[in-house]
Amino acid sequence: MGLIDSAKKNILTKEISEVADYEKVSEDTIIRGIKDGTVVIPKNIKRTLKRAVAVGQGLKTKVNANLGTSPDHISIEEEIEKMKIAVEAGADAIMDLSTGGNLIEIRKEILAQCPVCVGTVPVYQAACQTVKQKKKISQMDPELMFDVIEEQAEQGVDFMTIHCGVNRETVEVLKRQPRHIGVVSRGGSFLVKWINANNKENPYYEQYDRLLKIAKKYDITLSLGDGFRPGCSFDASDGPQLSELSILGDLVLRARKEGVQTMIEGPGHMPLDQIQANVLLAKRLGHNAPLYFLGPLVTDIAPGYDHITSAIGGALAASYGVDFICYVTPAEHLRLPNAQDVRDGVIAARIAGHSADIVKNVAGARQQDFEISKWRKERNWDKQREFSIDPIKFEKERAKLLPKHNDVCTMCGEFCSMKEEL
């Protein structure tokens, strides 16, 4: 029985108890959220998670870290190391976006070793297999697209990004309303190519009931992908993006009816002044399904620092109601991230999430700030480290000081204002 069905019968699962405890909310709150579709717990029935994670309204903002090989850089060891570093840094979920090497083996290893939920974008594998057969992406076989989903479900994938909203209707909108830089979502661009070349409907959209059947069988959470997410500020909030969003809202309702958990994905690149409206629209058109945003990056001019541009957008988006932030690393737009990039990306996204949680009144968020500032005044460095978002970084920086600075830091030295009782 899937989680929605068991919640409807008020069955208390182990995962519901665990997440309620972690979130400091009642088990009833979680059950209610799952029943009405505002909360999801991504977990395949084939998997046992060391840490189950709930995503949705009223809960702590969660962070996902994307990993995965590319055709130009293939190392299972490096991806496993990145996964471990991401989880140690506090990632709540991992997505394996591999497109190079033996995708099945890479995923198997990640699923075996990852303590939190794992997501994928199955169309990547279908596209890679098609290219391996010396065919074009536009020749991708719809049966293969579904076989891959079933295969990944059987392996234990907990949530899947499926670009069901890239359909003939939204592709027409794209033709009528051309963009500055077109379609930047990898999965989205595969499907646009496929639809245009075959003059047929997107198989994921056309056979959505088949997709729901597989999702239901394994209790997979569908993350309805935003194939038309804006890839630059100039394309934000345009026709293709918003028409896709409206279709995703329909698909959320159909999934709920079948007892399938769903999230809606969001942009992308977006100027600061458009974020609030986008979150409100996505919540409204998405029937309050949990929102999973990539960033958004609030400017396009900072390659090398896009963990910062996305954290600015992520903080704002989450403060307006986004529930799940996909991290962006400093390597974005430049190269495949390394382990340090992954760590920096996770911490930046967690800072964004926590900043939002303070204003969303998420249980425990304000208290953490209250505690660290109390110990800052006391100049109790051990306690400050304990309540800091990155205790390892805290320790590393303090270790650079001489013993004479035990009581203060080198910023003001003997003029430390924390020592004054005013």
Residues that bind ligand SF4 (CB under 6 A): 408-409, 411-412, 416-418
Looking at the Cβ atoms of 272 and 412, the one nearer to ligand SF4 is: 412
Shortest separation between residue 414's beta carbon and ligand SF4, angstroms: 9
Length of the chain: 422
Instruction: Provide Rg for the chain, Cα atoms.
Output: 22
Burial classification of residue 71, based on how many CB atoms lie within 10 Å of its CB (0-12 exposed, 13-18 middle, 19 or more buried): exposed
Percent composition of the chain: helix, strand, coil (DSSP 3-state, to 5) = 55, 10, 35
Looking at the Cβ atoms of 77 and 421, the one nearer to ligand SF4 is: 421
Residue with tokens 């209790």: 219
**Distance between CA 203 and CA 150 in Å, rounded?**
15
Looking at the Cβ atoms of 195 and 408, the one nearer to ligand SF4 is: 408
Shortest separation between residue 381's beta carbon and ligand SF4, angstroms: 9
**Distance between CA 50 and CA 411 in Å, rounded?**
41
Shortest separation between residue 36's beta carbon and ligand SF4, angstroms: 46
Shortest separation between residue 365's beta carbon and ligand SF4, angstroms: 23
Cβ–Cβ under 8 Å, residues 280 and 246:
no
Shortest separation between residue 358's beta carbon and ligand SF4, angstroms: 21
Q: What is the dihedral of CA 218, 29, 389, 283, to 10 degrees?
A: 70
Looking at the Cβ atoms of 45 and 416, the one nearer to ligand SF4 is: 416
Looking at the Cβ atoms of 402 and 411, the one nearer to ligand SF4 is: 411
Shortest separation between residue 374's beta carbon and ligand SF4, angstroms: 14
Shortest separation between residue 383's beta carbon and ligand SF4, angstroms: 13
Report which secondary-structure segment, H or E, holds 251. Answer: helix 239-257
* Structure token pair of residue 65: 């870290």
Preceding peptide of 188 cis, ω within 30°: no
Looking at the Cβ atoms of 411 and 422, the one nearer to ligand SF4 is: 411
Other C-beta atoms lying within 10 Å of the C-beta of residue 112: 11
Looking at the Cβ atoms of 281 and 416, the one nearer to ligand SF4 is: 416
Looking at the Cβ atoms of 339 and 416, the one nearer to ligand SF4 is: 416
Angle between helices 14-23 and 27-36 (to 10 degrees): 110
Shortest separation between residue 70's beta carbon and ligand SF4, angstroms: 42
Looking at the Cβ atoms of 105 and 397, the one nearer to ligand SF4 is: 397
Residue spans of beta strands (DSSP E) within 164-269: 221-224, 262-266
Shortest separation between residue 418's beta carbon and ligand SF4, angstroms: 4
Looking at the Cβ atoms of 367 and 373, the one nearer to ligand SF4 is: 373
Q: 101: Cβ–Cβ under 8 A, 6 or more apart, which residues?
A: 69, 74, 76
Shortest separation between residue 406's beta carbon and ligand SF4, angstroms: 12
